[in-house]
Amino acid sequence: MRLAATSLLLFLAQALTFVVDANKVDRRALQQDAQQDSDNEINSSMLDESFQSVVLLLAQADGQKSDFQSDSAEAVGLHSTIKALDELANSLIHARTAVGLHHGYELNDPLAAPLVNALSTGVPTRHQEASKYLRIITTAVHRLLREDGYIHDGSNTESRESGGVGMVPEHSYPLLRRATVARLTQLWLLHLRQDDTYMSQSGYDPEPKTSTWVANTRREVDYVLLMLFSLHRSGMRARIALEFLHISKAAGTSMCHLAEVSGCRTLDFSMGRTCLMRDFDDQPRWINGTHHWKLIAPVAEPWGAHPYAFLLYGVPRLPNRKRTCFARHDYLAKHNWNFFANEYTIYNNLTAYFEPEEDDDEDGAGLGAGGKVGAVSAPLSPPSPPVPRPPPAPPQSVTFEEKAARYASFVMQLVAADSGKAGQHRFAGSSRSSSSSRSRSLRSTDSSSSSSDGRSLRSSRSRSRSRRVSAISGGAALCPSFANVVVLRDPAERFLSHLKFIAQTYGTKYKWPSIAQAFAPGRNSSDWWRAFIPPLFDNYVLRTLAGEAVFAMSYEALEAGAESYMELAKVMLAQYDVILILEVNETLHRRAVHFGLAWRHLLTEFQLRNASVLLKTLYEMRIYGAQLASLLPDESLLEQLKPAAVRYDNSLYSYGTLLAGLDDVVWRSAEAALGEPMPGFHDGVGYGCGYIHTRGRPPAPPDKPREAPQPQPQPQQDLHG
C-alpha cells in the first residue's frame, strides 16, 4: 500500500522535495499535482490510522481510558473528543495572551495571522462549510511557505517582520503545526470517517456525502500535511544550530553521541561534557550547596574533589556568560558549531537583567543590607570546599550561600508581583528611574507587610487559579534562531534514575563509611531530602520547562501557582520543533528522528550512560546493594515522596506524548509520499547534522558514519541516563 501511495504522489513528492543547495522550489507544480484528478485511491487507511492515534493519545492525556484498542475511538465519546481537540487547538493559538508570554515568535509573525485566525474557530458540522474552512487553512499554510521558496540563512528578519516576500520561513511553526493537525483531526472525526453510525448516535446529523467529496477532501488534507512537513523542513534548514534541552537522566548522553555520528559539530562530545558549552552556563542545578556544606561535608571524607558541578541549585546563569540568544548565536557562528545541549532550564532574560533600584532607606547597601536587595553586582561563584575541616564552610562558601539565597528571594519577589508592578524594576544598565519608583524591600516570605510593593509569596496563593503567570515568569522563551529538540522520559522512571545517579556520585566521591554516616541522620526524613535536592523532589520537568524564574521556586510558591506554571510549561513544550518520547515503539521513534531531524541513526542504537561509569567504579570499590541503598531514602519513604515529586511531570509527559503524536501524523504523511526526508537520505548522502544548514560545512562523512564507542556491559546498568 505504501508503494501504491508513493507511486500516486510521485509528482507531488518531486515538487515538494528540496535539493539541499537549491534556492528555488516550483510551487506551481506542487499545487497542480495536489489538485489533479486521479483514478487511483489516496492512502485512506494511513490517514485513518494517523488520526485514530491522535484520538487515543488525547484520551490518555485527558486521564481517560489508557487501554484503548486501535479501533475503539468510539469508546472515547465523540462529543468529548471534539471538545478536547477544540480546547487543545485554542490553548495553542491563544497561548501568548492566555498565559502572559512576553515572546511568542510564531504567533507574532504577521504572515501567520491568517492561519491563527482560521484555527481560532472549530470545524463546521456541515461539509459545505467544512470545505471552505479547509480551503482557508490550506491557503494560510501555503502563505507561510511562500511562492518562490527562496532559502536564506535566517540572519535577516527585517523583511519577515514587515510581511515582506521572497523567503522560506525562518521558523518551522511547531505550535501552529500541532494546532493545525488538531483541527484536521476534528475534520476527520466529523466528515471523513468511513462509518457515520457513531455520528448519528452521538447526536450529530451527518449529511449525505459522495465518495468523490470524501476523496477530494482527504486529498486536500494530505496536501496540507505535506505542506506542514515542508514548512518544518525549510524552517529547520534556516536555523544556525540545534539546541537540545537535556532533561537530566533522559537519554542526554546518548543524544549527544547520536548528534556526533549524525555529523553535528559542538565544543565537546565527550562523556564529561555531554555537548554542554562552557560559556553558556547551562550545567544542571541539582543540589542545595548550603545543605551539602552544613550537613554532609563536615562528616563525609572526600577522596579528592567535592561534586562542585552539581552544587548550584539557586544560582542563576552568571552575568559574565553568554546567556542571551544573540550572544549564543554569535558564539556558535564564530566557531562554526551547530549543536549544543542545555541541561539547566529554558531562558528567561527578565530574571537575568531585571534588577531593583537602590533601597530608599539610608542604610540600604545592596546585597550587603540585611534583607534588602540593591543593584545586583558581582557574579555569583560556585561554593568552595571547607578548608580547614572543621568548620565545613569557609567565608567564600557562606558568601555563595547568602548571595544565592538573596537572588532566589529577589526572583521570588518579582514573580509574586502583579504584572503592573513589574515596571518598577529596571533593566540592568538602563537609566535610573525616579525615587518614587525605587525598589521594594525584599523581606522574608512570611512578612506581614501590607504594602503592595512588598507583597510576600503568600499573596500569590490568591491568584493560583489564574492561568496567567506573572510578568517575570512570562519572560521564558526559546531562541528563534535555533531549532529545538527535547527528549521526554517516563517521570517516575526518570526520578528514580536521577536519585540513584546522585547516590552513585556521592558513593564514588567520598570514602566509606563516612558518606553513609553523613546521610544516616536524615535518610528517613522527607524534609531532609527535599532540602538536599529541591528540584528533584518537586517536579523537575515542570521546573525545567517553565524557565529560570520558576526553577528555583520553593515548594510552597510552586504549588501556589501550579496551574499557571503548568500552562507556561505546556506552551514552552509546544514550541519545540521535535519532541522525542523514549517509551514509544521503534517505528514512531524512527519517524520522529528521520523526518523530524533528518538523522539516520536512532537513540536505540546507543547505550552510553554516565551512570554506567559510576556503577563500574562502585563495583570496583565493592560498594553495591545494601551499602548503596544507605545513600537512598528508605523504601517506604521513597514511595511516600514519589507521587508528589512527579505529580505535574506526569501531566507534562502525557501532554508531550500527545504533541509528539500530532507530529507523527505529519511525519507519517511525509514518509508515505516522499519516502525520505531529503534526497539521498537512505543512500548515506552526508548532510551533516540533518536539516541544520551551516556555512562552511566540512566534506560529507563516509557512507557509514563511525560508531560511537560502546561501553562494556555492567550490572544494573541505567539505560536512560
Question: How sure is the predictor about 80, in pLDDT bands with cuts at 50, 70 and 90?
Answer: confident
More confident residue, 528 or 319: 528
**Model confidence band, residue 67 (pLDDT cutoffs 50, 70, 90):** very low
649 pLDDT higher than 90: yes
Count other Cβ atoms within 10 Å, centred on residue 112.
23
**Alpha-carbon span 147 to 546, nearest angstrom:** 37
Cα distance between residue 287 and residue 265, in whole Å: 30
Give the side-chain half-sphere CA count within 13 A for 205: 0
* Other residues' Cβ atoms within 10 Å of the Cβ of residue 591: 19
Give the pLDDT band (50/70/90) at residue 288: very high
What is d(CA 380, CA 367) in angstroms, rounded to the nearest whole number? 12
Say if residues 376 and 428 touch (Cβ distance below 8 Å).
yes
Statement: residue 182 has pLDDT above 90: yes
Q: How high is the pLDDT of residue 194? A: 63
Cell numbers placing 379: 557574579
Bigger pLDDT: 76 or 369? 76
pLDDT digits (tens, 9 = 90+) for 469-500: 887 888 899 999 999 999 999 999 999 999 99
Which whole-number Å values give the CA distances from 542 to 25, 350, 490, 550, in the listed order? 41, 19, 13, 9
Q: How far is CA 245 from the centre of its chain?
A: 6
pTM of this structure = 0.77
Average pLDDT, the chain: 74
What stretch of H or E contains 226? Answer: helix 211-237
| Percent of the chain's residues with pLDDT above 90 | 46
Q: Which helix (H) or strand (E) holds 11?
A: helix 10-16
Q: What confidence tens digit (pLDDT) does each residue in 689-717 have?
A: 999 975 544 333 333 333 433 433 333 33
What are the pLDDT digits (tens) for 534-565? 999 999 999 999 998 899 888 998 999 999 99
Q: State the Cα–Cα distance between residues 89 and 91, nearest whole angstrom.
A: 6
State the sign of the Cα–Cα–Cα–Cα dihedral 49, 54, 60, 64.
Answer: negative
pLDDT at 549: 87
For 623-650, what is the HEC assignment?
CCCHHHHCCCCCHHHHHHHHHHHHHHHH
Is pLDDT of 595 > 80?
yes
Assess contact for 206 and 199: CB atoms under 8 A.
yes
List Cβ neighbours of 406 (8 Å cut-off, separation of 6 or more).
367, 373, 442
Residue keyed to cell 488534507: 221
Give me the percent of the chain exceeding a pLDDT of 70: 63
What's the mean pLDDT in 210-237? Answer: 93
CA–CA distance, 437 with 539 (Å, rounded to integer): 36
Mean pLDDT of the region 309-318: 85
Higher pLDDT, 257 or 29: 257
pLDDT > 90? residue 685: no
- Measure the CA–CA gap between 258 and 246, rounded to whole angstroms: 13
Q: Kindly tell me if the per-residue pLDDT of 441 is higher than 80.
A: no
pLDDT score of 389 more than 70:
no
Region 51-63 average pLDDT: 84
pLDDT for residue 671 is more than 80: yes
Q: When comparing pLDDT for 519 and 635, which is higher?
A: 519
Nearest to 624 by CA among 633, 639, 614, 634: 614
Residue 14 scores a pLDDT above 60: no
pLDDT at 60: 81
What average pLDDT does this structure show over 79-104? 90
Work out the pLDDT band at 40, boundaries 50, 70, 90: very low
Q: How confident is the model at residue 359 (pLDDT cuts 50, 70, 90)?
A: very low
Q: What is the mean pLDDT of residues 309-315?
A: 87
User: Mean pLDDT lowest for which of 263-272, 296-305, 607-616, 658-667?
Assistant: 607-616
pLDDT at 123: 95
